[in-house]
Amino acid sequence: MNEFLNIATEIVFVLCGLVSVATAFRGLKNEQARIGTFLFWLILGLIFILGKILPSELVGALLLAMGVLSATKQVRMGKFTEADPQFKKMSSEKVGNLIFLPALMIGVVAMLLSTIKIPWQGESFAIPSAVAIGVASIAALISGMLLLYPKNKETVEDSTRLLMQVGGSSLLPQLLAALGAVFTSAGVGTVIANAIGGIIPEGNILIGVIIYVVGMVVFTMIMGNGFAAFSVITVGIGIPFVIQQGGDPAMIGALGLTAGFCGTLMTPMAANFNIVPSAVLETKSKYAIIKAQLPMALAMIVVHVILMLVLGF
Amino acid sequence: MGDAIKLIGIVIIVAGFALKLDVLAVVLISGLVTGLVSGMSFVEILRIIGDSFVSNRLMSIFLISFPIIAVLERYGLKERAAYLIGQIKKATAGKVLAIYLLIRTIAAAFSVRLGGHVQFVRPLIYPMAEAAGEKCKGALFTEKETDFVKGLAAAAENYGNFFGQNCFYGASGVLLIQGVLIEAGYEVTLQSIALNSIPVAVIMFILALIQFHFADKKIRRDGMM
């Protein structure tokens, strides 16, 4: 049974890889950076499809090649024609609220599947997350097809547009996890923990929690990215000074990342959330959004410290 | 002191992100340099990066949901949501924003990509909040008030997005949290992380209601002066 579930997981990743491969071929139609865009998404697709078979060293080398393509601006967004707004409006009136059904199915079906255990020869097996989400997405797609009869060509075209829009930064969480693995083997967390341990008394939970929350906020503000701050600060501060002092890992981890998001609310470095939208909305002040978010961010920082102390221990 | 050189990777990350350099390259270089100064071989670093990338493929599982999202967007998902919001009666600026925030948060928690500054706030939420606010005030907004409500409208989008997303157990943030904790030797489930993200989302919503309520009051007071 385990073997079957592992194969099912790999099938889901093969499907993910195919979306990337389709994007690669769409990249060939680009006006700029045709080859680079093609190679970037093709390599990513292959890593997804063959990940379990390829030697890790080769995957690492392929990722470096992708990094070079991305850094030299060889990965570009192609030209796409937007769907006709008139058509969208007509279709939304025709289908009505039923259009929300497939959208909700992704989350609801995945959640249901994740709670089911499959009984098999006296043992019970949990459905792996990848399979749950994969099956939910496919079920949603089938319901969407029955409801809307979309043209396959348009669906492929739109899917590749979505991936190109997200672009290389879609890999960021995965790459940051890889960076975290390098940091762990290099002992980076220990170095930070020792440095901070020299300043603050070990075993003081209140100070540990405050430093973790504030560290997440400050690093996120500097970097403009909560994910990047999380992998560094959790290894360096969160684990030694909060979790190892008796904190519940799942609770502390969950609160650690959203503590970072409080920093995102206050920093112009998070340009896509705070600065670009103010241009989109044509505000007089560039900082109108940050100004509106400041009271919430400060209140939520206090909330995070309290929740960590109350719920995390 | 000799160990402090290992922190160079963090310096690279902070500087690279702050300078808006290519994020993929910055992360890879940071990993390579950290590994090299810590005495690892080039091939060993590649092996760690490759191994971790493949075992964390789950973080990019959203790829598989692109086709259905593509279909729904083409057939008017956003247009329908916009229509529903437009049905709200007796609206004030604060109420419009609160309802949008509620929808946005729940959508994020169910991993439905419904929202966005460009798609929703600019064409729909801000104009509705402005219209409702000016009706309450009994006069057109001043320039200062316009900026004030625009800021709040964009903030509602960010609040719902940030604090709602981790309530879905397949969210990339949840997967990152699990990945970092497992790497450090703590076995945690995605479900427990998602569940533990709910209190923050609820408290955020209550605080936002308070903020929007005071905004309504301020707009009404300005109208009387």
pLDDT tens column, B93-118: 999 999 999 999 998 888 776 777 87
* Nearest neighbour of A110 by CB, restricted to B46, B81, B170: B170
Where b means 16+ CB within 10 Å and e means fewer, B155-173 reads bbbbbbbbbbbbbbbbbbb
Q: Is A19 close to B67, i.e. CB distance below 8 A? A: yes
Contact B94, B150 (CB under 8 A): no
Q: Is there a contact between A221 and A269 (Cβ–Cβ < 8 Å)?
A: yes
A16-43 pLDDT, tens digit per residue, is 999 999 999 999 999 889 999 999 999 9
Angstroms from B224 CA to nearest CA on chain A = 23
* pLDDT greater at residue A37 or residue A282: A37
Does residue B16 contact residue B30 with C-beta atoms inside 8 Å? yes
A39 touches chain B (CB under 8 A): no
Cβ separation of A56 and B51 shorter than 8 Å? Answer: yes
Tell me whether residues A47 and B54 touch, CB distance under 8 A: yes
Interface check for A144 against chain B (CB to CB < 8 A): the answer is yes
pLDDT computed for residue B28 by the predictor: 95
Kindly determine whether residue B57 and residue A16, on different chains, have CB atoms separated by under 8 Å: yes
Structure tokens at A267: 């920093």
pLDDT in tens, A111-166: 788 778 888 888 888 888 889 889 999 999 999 999 999 999 999 999 999 889 87
Instruction: Check B151 against A222: CB less than 8 A apart.
Output: no
Query: What's the mean pLDDT in B169-189?
Result: 91
Q: Kindly indicate the confidence band of residue B89, based on its pLDDT and cuts at 50, 70 and 90.
A: low
Q: Return mean pLDDT, chain B.
A: 88
pTM for this one? 0.78
Contact of B114 with B165, CB cutoff 8 Å: no
ipTM: 0.82
Residues A1-23 pLDDT 10s: 888 999 999 999 999 999 999 99
Question: pLDDT by residue (tens digit) across A171-200?
Answer: 877 888 788 788 878 887 778 777 777 777
A68-99 pLDDT, tens per residue? 999 999 998 888 887 888 898 888 889 888 98
- What is the rounded end-to-end Cα distance, in angstroms, of chain A? 37
Give residue B4's pLDDT: 84
Higher pLDDT, B80 or A238: A238
Q: What residue in A sits closest to B117 (Cα-Cα)?
A: A277
Asked if A174 lies within 8 A of B154 by C-beta distance, the reply is no
Between B188 and A232, where is the model more confident? B188
Q: CA-nearest residue of chain B to A261?
A: B162
pLDDT above 60 for B1: no
pLDDT band at A269 (very low <50, low <70, confident <90, very high): confident
A130 touches chain B (CB under 8 A): yes
| pLDDT reported for residue B34 | 93
Chain A hits for B118, CB-CB cut-off 8 Å, are: 277, 280
Put simply, the answer to whether A289 touches B151 (Cβ < 8 Å) is: yes
What band does B225 get if pLDDT is binned at 50, 70 and 90? low
In the structure, what pLDDT confidence band is assigned to residue A102 with cuts at 50, 70 and 90? confident
